């Protein structure tokens, strides 16, 4: 579980700001990135048709697309 210790301050305009220790901010960002990865995976699974190609074929297609752009 992520534990953070926020501190709250106000800027000169009176808006609330939150301050976190650097390591807590870094941990929070890692958690957000992981959640984004999970969201993208779940979205991709919705559109998965089950079709698969061998890795060698995938690399071949990638190279062909690169050569077309060059």
- What are φ and ψ of residue 12, in 5° steps? -65, -20
Which of residues 69 and 35 earns the better pLDDT score? 35
Whole-angstrom distance, CA of residue 33 vs CA of residue 42: 14
Q: What is the separation of C-alpha 26 from the centre of its chain, rounded to a whole number of angstroms?
A: 14
Q: What is the per-residue pLDDT across 8-45, written as a single tens digit (0 to 9) for each?
A: 999 999 999 999 999 999 999 999 999 999 999 999 99
In this predicted structure, what is the pLDDT of residue 25? 97
Q: Is the pLDDT of residue 70 over 80?
A: no
3-20 burial code (b ≥16 CB/10 A, e <16)? eeeeeeeeeeeeeeeeee
């Amino acid at each position: 579980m992520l534990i953070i210790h926020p501190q709250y301050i106000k800027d000169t305009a009176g808006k609330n700001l939150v301050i976190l220790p650097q390591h807590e901010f870094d941990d929070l960002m890692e958690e957000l990135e992981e959640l984004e990865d999970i969201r993208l995976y779940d979205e991709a699974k919705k559109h998965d048709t089950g079709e698969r190609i061998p890795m060698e074929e995938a690399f071949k297609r990638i190279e062909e697309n690169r050569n077309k752009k060059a």
